[in-house]
Structure 1
Amino acid sequence: MGEDNVRRWPSSDVLMGAIGYGVVVATLYIMLFGNAFAFAGANDDAAYASGLASLAAILLCVVASLWGSDWLTRLGTRKLLWPSSCILMAAYGAAAWASSAGLASEALSLGLRLVSGAAVGLLMVVWSDYVANQTKATLSMSFVIAFATMGVGMVSVTFLDPFSERIALAAATLLSAVFYMTISQGIKPSRFVSRKESADTLHLNMRSSVSYAITGLVIGNAICLLSRTMPLSYALLTLGFGVLGSVVVSCVLIKLKRGSWLLLGPVERFTFPGLIALLLVAPYSSGAWGVVLAVLLLTMLFVRDLARIVNRALLATEFECQSCYLYARTALPFFIGIGGGFALGVIANAAVFPVAEVVCSIVMVVFLSVGITVMPYGADPLTMPLAQLPEAPSDENRIGQGLWRRACESVAREEGLTPRECDIFQILSHGRSANVIARELDISVYTVKSHMYNIYRKLDIETQQDLIDRVEDERMRIKREVEEPHVRL
């Protein structure tokens, strides 16, 4: 991605969309790890059970969306906006009324969590259209703003009393619905693409799904273990600061690395050592130091989560696919991971032996290590999306084609690429993926990825877009050399 998508500030529509989307995601985490539906006198076991119930409802919605994505797309996902928003606001209102009237019970809390979990799951499906209709020019900063909104929301609710918190969450739900209605006018309907067509086009494999699931696993486990040493409200506060920390880190990386950090593969690699170190040290830390380590751990995890969402949106700009299918297909492993991590945390919290937390951290380290080993460079479209071809060469301009080919040959010669690497380099410069190159050259996709790794290493670059930019710079240099004699004449 070029410089424009980093420096250009989002328009008012994109800004409203980012805030609205951030509110919905914040609501999801508050529901899972907060106490919005917990009544006075409820114990931790009831809170854990209610959190798992909310997650089960969300998972059912995601699975149903994946299975019925064709029907939902034909119906129009935006038609679910007001029904799901009204159900969620009614759940908050019922919780506030029951608490003030003294009618609160664990059964009511569980029922409200199930209903609200289903409503939030449907809202996430509705907002999938917004995520899929981002432009490359604004998507990075849009999701940074969404995560900033999400972090501020989670931090803010922890300072409210239960009644005010429920009223604030109901108002935030209404605000996000209004924002969506405002921006939805700019979301143009596209050609209907079936779930099967989307699956065939995207060619998503299990590698990125494993990565998504492991990130969710560690997030769910970290929050559950945090609640062992502090009330759920303070655990949510720590989670909010972790999200805000990921926003700061992301902004710094965007400034330093432009858009190349957004690829899921590089993000996996540079966060891996820090996550391992923090997971191994965290069980032995307590007090203020333990909270600081927890915030750092969550910061790294949410940098990965931000890259996950950005890559999903970027994938939607590169391929003609169904937004509902793309959302459900990529969100399902993440929510399954959160559920697994939360369940492991509950087991560790219930264990009587003192090393349970240490064992749990070691399990997380093992999962992260497995994840990093099954995700080689460019193993999945989500880890290395296709890059847009610059405007330079066109099919009707033979001179432009010749300059582009000369530029590729010049760069390849300068960097000492082998003949096979030269072949792959030229196809890469036209924005093709590893799977496409493998089909064109009739070789294994893993062989292609191995050559791609060597090419990137020799050129000292990180992404396919960096490669295209390098060729474009060389093309412009050759063009100036060709034109200068005519200018002097």
Structure 2
Amino acid sequence: MSTEVEPGQRLNWPLVFTASCGFALYWSSFFTMLMRNSFMDGAIEILWYHLFLRIVFLLGSCIGCLAMAKRADWISSAQGVRFQKAGVCLFSVVAAVGSLAAYSLSATMPLAFDCAAWGLAGVGLSCLLMLWVELLSAFAPAERDAALVLAIGLGAPAYLVMNLLPFPFNIGLLCASPLISLGIFYLLEQDEDVVASAFVPLEDSLQRARWTASYKGIAVAYGIVFGLGIGSTTQIAESDPLYSGIAVVLALGAAAAWFVARFLGERIQKASSFRFLFPVLIIALIPMAFLQGMPSVACNLLLLGCYVFFEAIGINLALVLAKQQRASRIQLVAVSQACIYLGLALGHGVGLAATSTGAMNYSMLSVAALGLVILLALFITFAPLSPLAGHELKNAATLEADVAVTEKDAVGFWRKHCERIAQEAGLSARETEVFLLLAKGRGIEHIQNKLNISSHTVKTHTYNIYRKMGIGSREELLDLVETDVDNGGQS
């Protein structure tokens, strides 16, 4: 979002819109899980049960992100991508089986079953999030940022439709949305305009870019505040106006993120854009401590809009820094998301413990959240806040030079392995040229234009390459190159 579109440069709007629609289905599913009562049994009216299952869902999301951050190298491999896709499918299966079981038995499912289901649902949606984050990183900066914000904005009306539909259509849409999102993801994977970003080993990434402890702590603290506000909506009776209000503030939060990113991009890179939330949070929390009814509901919704703003800016910050520092996108995004999910779970947990025991009511919780916001404001105002640990952010000229040298070394290393594979397979000079482009993820149209040959000739060379290497698909070719690089040429 901070990258201006140069004169004459146009965004590929069909590509942006397609990606936004696919990513929007993730957000609609996530918002539904976060804001709606249990998808397992819509007849449950026990307050603590709803909050408890949300906590389990958020902890599942947190654990999923931490696991992917720790195994970022494997997650980036072909096997890792297949694992993430399986996790997405698992979400739909769990939601469908749990709902059908509860409906057919006309009874509440055992708490252990619901906990397992919601935990797996959290892991599944975190897999879908990371798939889209990795795909969007392959876009040009302006297209990536437009797709990110537009996806959240489109996720709002999709959430509204999902929650206005009667049972079982709402459950059906919830189960189908991640699968449809995965289908759109697959189509974009095959698009010739989408070329995967260079792989960055986790060890190298951690040397270049790691979130500071202060930034991670702030993300958790913000999550606690948002969790207290979002958890409070459980006490509000479900209704069409409530769902409509939620959809509106979700869209407004995304619009605010776009505005800040479009005109104040430099502040995003320094994480100082989060200071914009302080006055809004204070405006929301003060009335919540003293008012009831519709004013309190409006304040809860305002907190939800702040959460969406924080999410959009946070993911954008991670992707921008990953590109600048040539770091692992999965590692940076997964860690920051895990901190937010942990904070949301803690916020829900505090609210659940305080209200169920009678130790505090929602007004007192609002006062506590207000105090936390004031402490955050003081800390960010007077303490230096750098998002990355180990070094200051480099200036643009130094970054450009460093990245150019590093990428040159990485490309040379990769090309050496590809040429060795081609030589061992007995490829001709022209077949080797086609093989190098195929290994980069290029499509037939790109290769024919690059080499000035016909599409028929490209297909013939591709067939010969597959035959000589004993493979049958582009995925097997990429796996072959990836395995050779990982094994240092010993495969």
Give the TM-score taking structure 2 as reference length.
0.71
- The alignment partner of 1:331 has SS state of helix
Find the counterpart in structure 2 of residue 17 from structure 1: 19
Asked whether the 8 Å contact 1:95–1:166 carries over to 2, the reply is no
**Could you tell me whether the CA contact under 8 Å between 2:270 and 2:387 is conserved in 1?**
no
* TM superposition shift of 1:195: 1.9
Rounded Cα–Cα distance in structure 2 between residues aligned with 1:114 and 1:143: 26
* 2:243 is equivalent to residue 242 of structure 1: no
Contact 2:41 2:102 in 1 (8 A): no
Matched residue type, 2:275: R
Q: Which residue does 1:481 correspond to in 2?
A: none
- Deviation digits for residues 350-403 of structure 1 (CA, Å, limit 9, x no counterpart): 2436x63233223222332333344456622499966645xxxxxxxxxxxxxx
Alignment partner, residue 296 of structure 1? 302
- Across the two proteins, how many residue pairs are aligned to each other? 393
Partner of 1:424 in structure 2?
Answer: none
Structure 1 residue identity aligned to 2:109: E
Q: Which amino acid aligns with 2:19?
A: G
Q: Deviations over 1:209-258 (max 9, x none)?
A: 12221222122111111212334997665543321121233344466x36
The amino acid of 1:3's aligned partner reads E
Deviation at 1:188, TM superposition (A): 3.4
User: 1:303 Cα deviation (Å)?
Assistant: 1.8
How far apart are the structure 2 equivalents of 1:191 and 1:358? 50
Q: Determine whether 1:324 maps to 2:330.
A: yes
**CA drift at 1:166:** 1.0
Partners of 2:268 and 2:313 within 8 A in 1: yes
The 8 Å contact of residues 8 and 138 in structure 1, kept in 2 or not, is answered as no
Q: C-alpha displacement at 1:193, in angstroms? A: 2.6
Counterpart residue number, 2:126? 121
- Counterpart in 1 of 2:5? 4
Asked if 2 retains the 8 angstrom alpha-carbon contact of 1:147 and 1:243, the reply is yes
Is the CA contact (8 Å cut-off) linking 1:136 and 1:317 kept in structure 2? Answer: no
AA matched with 1:140 = D
Please tell me the residue identity of whatever aligns with 1:92: A
In structure 2, list runs of 5 or more residues that go unmatched.
403-491
Deviations along 1:332-352, one digit per CA (max 9) or x if unpaired, are: 111111111111121233243
Give the match for residue 169 of structure 1: 174
Partner residue in 2 for 1:282:
288
Q: How does 1:430-441 map onto structure 2 within 5 Å? A: none
2:350, 2:79 → 1: CA distance?
38
SS of 1:4's partner is coil
Give me the whole-angstrom Cα distance separating, in 2, the residues matched to 1:295 and 1:272: 16
Aligned CA distance change for structure 1 residues 342 and 8 (closer, same or farther; 3 Å): farther
The answer on 1:217 being equivalent to 2:238 is no
Residue 201 in structure 1 maps to residue 208 in structure 2: yes
Matching residue of 1:343: 349
1:87-126 correspondence runs (5 A): 87-107=90-110, 108-126=113-131
- The separation in 2 between residues aligned to 1:277 and 1:43, in whole angstroms, is 30
Asked if structure 1 preserves the Cα contact closer than 8 Å seen for 2:210 and 2:332, the reply is no
Q: Which moved more, 1:81-90 or 1:205-214?
A: 81-90
From the superposition, tell whether residues 52 and 351 of structure 1 become closer, same or farther in structure 2 (CA, over 3 Å): same
Range moving further from structure 2, 244-253 or 280-289: 244-253
Alignment of 1:456-471 (within 5 A): none
Q: Can you list the C-alpha shifts for 1:120-155, whole angstroms capped at 9, x where unaligned?
A: 222223223124334322233222201112222222
User: 8 Å contact 1:214–1:337 — kept in the other structure?
Assistant: yes
Following the alignment from structure 1 to structure 2, what is the Cα–Cα distance between the partners of residues 8 and 344?
A: 48
When structure 1 is superposed on structure 2, of 325-334 and 263-272 the one drifting more is 263-272
Aligned to 2:387: 380
CA RMSD, 1 decimal: 3.3
Tell me the equivalent position of 1:459.
Answer: none
After superposition, the Cα gap between the structure-2 partners of 1:106 and 1:215, relative to the gap in structure 1 and judged at 3 Å, is: same
**3-state DSSP of counterpart to 1:40:** coil
Deviations 1:36-95 (A, max 9, x none): 223424522222222222222222212221222222223454213442232222223223
Structure 2: which amino acid aligns with 1:91?
A: V
Q: Give the Å deviation of 1:183.
A: 1.6
Counterparts in 2 of 1:149 and 1:61: CA distance versus 1, 3 Å: same
- 1:397-476 pair list within 5 angstroms: none
Which of 72, 77, 86 aligns to 1:74? It is 77
Alignment of 1:187-198 (within 5 A): 187-198=194-205
How far apart, in 2, do the equivalents of 1:141 and 1:263 lie?
Answer: 17
Q: Is the 8 A contact 1:81 1:177 kept in 2?
A: no
Cα distance in 1 for partners of 2:126, 2:261 equals 30
Change in CA separation of 1:50 and 1:250 when aligned onto 2, cut-off 3 Å: closer
Equivalent pairs: percent with the same residue?
15
Decide whether the 8 Å contact of 2:315 with 2:333 is kept in 1. no
Contact 2:286 2:367 in 1 (8 A): yes
Cross-structure match for 2:165:
160
Letter in 1 for 2:308: F
- Relative to 1, partners in 2 of residues 1:265 and 1:350: Cα closer, same or farther, differing over 3 Å? same
Measured at CA, do residues 20 and 81 of structure 1 come closer, stay the same or move farther in structure 2, by a change above 3 Å? Answer: farther
Residues 250 and 304 of structure 2 are in contact (CA less than 8 Å); yes or no, is this contact kept in structure 1? yes
Residues 278 and 40 (structure 1), Cα distance of their counterparts in 2 relative to 1, 3 Å cut:
closer
CA contact (8 A) 2:153 2:250 kept: yes
* 1:179 corresponding residue in structure 2: 184
Matched residue, 2:484: none
**Residue number in structure 2 paired with 1:402:** none
Aligned to 2:52: 49
How far apart are the structure 2 equivalents of 1:50 and 1:203? 32
Q: Conserved in 1, the CA contact under 8 Å of 2:271 and 2:317?
A: no
CA deviations on 1:396-453 (whole Å, 9 max, x unpaired) are: xxxxxxxxxxxxxxxxxxxxxxxxxxxxxxx89x999xxxxxxxxxxxxxxxxxxxxx
Mind listing any 5+ residue stretches in structure 1 that lack a counterpart?
Answer: 390-426, 433-489
CA 1:159–1:272 in 2, change beyond 3 Å: closer, same or farther? Answer: same
Provide the C-alpha distance between the structure 1 equivalents of 2:243 and 2:355, rounded to a whole number of angstroms: 17
Distance change in 2, residues 1:211/1:10 (3 Å): farther
Per-residue CA deviation, residues 3-39 of structure 1 (Å, 9 max, x unaligned), is: 3189955532232222222321332232233232234
What code does the residue aligned with 2:256 have? Answer: V
Aligned-partner Cα distance in 2 for 1:190–1:2: 17
Query: What's the counterpart of residue 409 of structure 2?
Result: none
Partners of 1:263 and 1:307 within 8 A in 2:
no
Distance 1:161 1:248, change over 3 A: same
- The reply to whether residue 84 of structure 1 matches residue 87 of structure 2 is yes
Deviates more, 1:161-170 or 1:362-371: 362-371
